Structures are given as structure tokens and as C-alpha cells.
Amino acid sequence: MKRLIQKGLMFGNLVEVSSPALVERYNRALAHLTGKQTKLADFHIDVSGYSPEVGDELGDDLYLNPNGCNRQFILLTTAQKNAPLLNIKFSTSRGILRQFIDQNEAQLFALTARDAVAGELQNSVYEVSSPARLLDIRQITVEADTIGGHVADAGKLARLIERFRTEPDGWRDDLLIAEMIGLAKKTGDVTRVPIHLPRMTFEQPNFWTSHFGGLYVFQRAKLSGVISTLPRASLGQMPIAPVMDLTQRNHIAEFLEINEFVEPIVKARGMDAAAVLRQKMDFILVDAADALDLDLGNATRSDLRKIAHRLGKGLPDEFLGLADLLRWVEGGGAWPRITSEHPAYFYTLRARPHADRDLVNMLLAELAPLDVRQLFITHKELFYASYARWSERKRQYVADFLEREYVVDKQGARAALFGPEPGMEEGDRPEPQPTPTMADLVGPWGALRKDRR
């Protein structure tokens, strides 16, 4: 993984903690939350305050996430909002932390100037011993305070001030005044500079979790359902239907269509479909050549074209399907019929713009894993696991490509592939829909074959 770290493709944008004062604050917060401390003089932290170096030192990568379902966090600076979230257990966690920091940035900036802020992403489930328990997680509540309890003390002082102002003999109550003075020494003048961190609650109806091999849960949709990476029978009884696994391509395709979650990339607004298709075909060729131990040369498009000629009839079905579609896009071929059973099918789709766009693109990356660019952008946990299994030759190609084509302009690459970022209200307000065509009525490439089993 050193190559990825050196190229900024792993542990990028972490916040450095190196000053003795910040290390001391971190240790106070760590002891407060976990009863543990670090002996490191410098380390790096993600948006939640998790440090891979501290995790390695403690021999526990989940030291801030016990049982993997109620993530704790330590904020030393509001700059953490731009950091990634490592060891993700739920796809919604980073977004929730980011919103919490954004909506309370002024207060958090003032609080972290004097102390560390610690808190937890709370839900009503404290353990996930069975997949069905995951469906009980509907809301996440964020509660936080400084280690010194400044927020709680400020609230208490505000109530005492109200008593002083409203009680007839408040100005003669020496105990009340003494308590107010004692708290004010700690919190400052809360009448001029209020200290308040609201208890915030976020809904989590649709999410991905790494538990039980990886599950995509859709509870708020036209058709609810669960999609499992492992065989669906391994989940046992679930309080939701349908329950699918990745082998049921036709069912998943129908599920995505019914919920209007996806669109063909050749119909996506503002996308250079031909360029995207060519790049997907390159990735597929690299994987095929690597599997046959063929020399990639410099892996230029010319080199890959030579490999395609060598493979001939042995070209992967994914490549051939995308090549047919590319010929249609460029005006030189017939409209291809690519059904949901075709290996190229999910490579031809992207998520429509809606609130769960990133979650759907994450699912599509798992269904089309040879598109390593989408895999890296939308599903880093799976990308790193896949990278560890690749040959040295493929690792080098992918790392060089991502450094050259993605790292230099991350926002531009994401916008070109997936469209503009959806707003927070996206999905709550329906957009005007065009009159459906026959292609819309029967699916992007033709009618879905119904599985009669």
C-alpha cells in the first residue's frame, strides 16, 4: 500500500497532530471516551479523530467505534471536516459528521480553541449480532461537548442567569451569585458569546454497511429492499423484502429501474459517453491481459489496442458489449441489446441525480468491479481490498492512472462521471419528467427477463 500512500491515494487529507498541546488534548479526549491513551508524539487523524497510527499502537482499529455501530469522535479542529473517514462501517457516517461540523462551525471553532470536543453518533442499537438488527437503525443522533464540559456548564449558567433575572430576591442570593461567578470563570460571558451545541438527529433510511460481508439497505424507496454481497440465505430472516444478493442481476436491475435510481451513461446529461466507454474498455483490457500474464508495455491506448488484437475471440464479454455501445454512440453501429444478464450491463449505468446518488454508484461499482476508477471514487473499502489481491503490474497501472487522471482534479473527475453534487434537499422535490419513450418503459437496453423461479 506504500505506492498508494505516496501518490496521495490512501490516507490523503488526514489532519496532522504534532504540537504537544494538541496531543495532550487528544489524550484527554481518548481517555474520556475509551480509557486509553497514546504515547505517540505525532500522528494523523481523520474526520472522526481516528488515527491509523494510534490504532496500530493500540492494536485496535475500532478503538473509537466499539461494536462497529456507535461511532465516537474527537474534534481538535474544524479542519477535520475535509478529512476522509477511515474504517467505514456505515456509508452515512462521514456525511453526518460533515453536516454536524458545517452547521456548528462557529461554535466548534471557539470550543476547539480551548479544548477537544468529544461525542458519539448514537443510535438505539448497541450491537449488530444479526443482519435483522441493522434494520432497527433508522436515526443517528449526534451529541458532543468539550472534555471539560463547557457546553453543559454554559447551559447551566444560562439557566442560573435566568433565575437571577426572574426571581424577586435573586440579587440577594449569595449562593446563586457565587455559582454563577464560578461557572462564568470557566465558560466566559454566555450572554454575549453563547456556547451551544444542539443535539442533532439525522435520518438513516438508506445506507451501506460493511457488516455481514456488505449490505445495501433501502428502506425509503418506491420498492424497499436489501442487496447482500454474500448469499442472501446467509442473512437469515429479514424484516424487509425483497432480499437479493449480487448473483441476482436481473432482480437488482429491475429493483434499480422501479426505483428510478439509474440512467444509461449514453443518455446522461453533460457526459462524454464515448470517452467514458473507452476508459472502461481500457480497464477491462488491462484486467484480461494481466490474467493471461501479457505484457502491458506502457499501457497506452495503442498498447492496449494491440492486446485486444492478440486476444481476438478471447476478448471479455464486458469489453465486447461496451464496444458495441461505443459504435452506436459514434454513429457507426446498430443500437445494441444489452440485457441485465449481459456482463456489460451495469458498466453502462450511473446513478440518477437524487439524495442516494453516491450509495447507488457505490452499488454499481460492486456490480462492475473492473471499472477501477469508479471503484476507487465510490467504494474505497472494496478498492483497497481488491488492490491487495492484484498483481504488481496491475497495481502500478491503476495507481499511475489514478494519480494522473483523478488526483489532479478530483471534483472535475467526479462531476464528469457522476454529474453535479446533489443538494441536501435533493430527492425531496420531484423534478419535471419528460414523456417516457419505449426505451424508458422497457428498461435502458430492452425488457428485463423475469426470473420465474
C-alpha cell at position 123: 443510535
Q: Write out the H or E segment, with its range, that includes residue 318.
A: helix 317-329
CB proximity list for 66: less than 8 A, separation 6 or greater: 72
Burial class (CB in 10 A: 0-12, 13-18, 19+), 360: buried
The Cα 257–Cα 441 span in angstroms is 10
Q: What is the DSSP letter of 434?
A: P
Three-state DSSP class for residue 266: helix
Q: Are 144 and 32 within 8 A, CB to CB?
A: no
Residue type, 133: R
The Cα 342–Cα 274 span in angstroms is 20
The Cα 262–Cα 265 span in angstroms is 9
Q: How many CA atoms lie within 13 A of 200 on its CB side?
A: 19
CB proximity list for 425: less than 8 A, separation 6 or greater: none
Task: Output the CA angle 428-134-117, nearest 5 degrees.
Answer: 75
Residue type, 66: P
The Cα 300–Cα 303 span in angstroms is 5
Predicted confidence pLDDT, tens digits, the chain (453 residues): 889 998 989 988 899 999 999 999 999 999 999 999 999 999 999 999 999 999 999 999 999 998 888 899 999 999 999 999 999 999 999 999 999 999 999 888 878 888 889 999 988 777 788 999 898 888 899 988 877 666 666 666 566 666 767 777 666 667 766 766 776 666 665 455 556 778 899 988 999 999 999 999 999 999 999 999 999 999 999 999 999 999 999 999 999 999 999 999 998 888 899 999 999 999 999 999 888 888 877 777 788 888 888 888 889 999 999 999 999 998 877 888 899 999 999 999 999 999 999 999 999 999 999 999 999 999 999 999 999 999 999 999 999 999 998 988 888 889 989 988 765 443 333 333 333 443 443 444 444 444 433
Residue with cell 468529544: 118
Laid out side by side, the sheet with 225-228 consists of 206-209, 215-218, 225-228, 243-245
Phi first, then psi: what are they for 12, rounded to 5°? -75, 150
- Residue 140: beta bridge partners? 202
pTM, to two decimals: 0.83
Residue 350: what pLDDT?
95
Residue type, 438: M
Residue 188: what pLDDT?
62
Burial class (CB in 10 A: 0-12, 13-18, 19+), 383: buried
Mark out the alpha helices in 35-149 (DSSP H runs): 52-58, 93-103, 105-112, 131-134
Residue 187: what pLDDT?
64
The structural domains of the chain, with segments of one domain joined by +, span 2-129, 248-442
DSSP of 363-416: HHHHHSTT-HHHHHHH-HHHHHHHHTTS-HHHHHHHHHHHHHHTGGGHHHHHHH
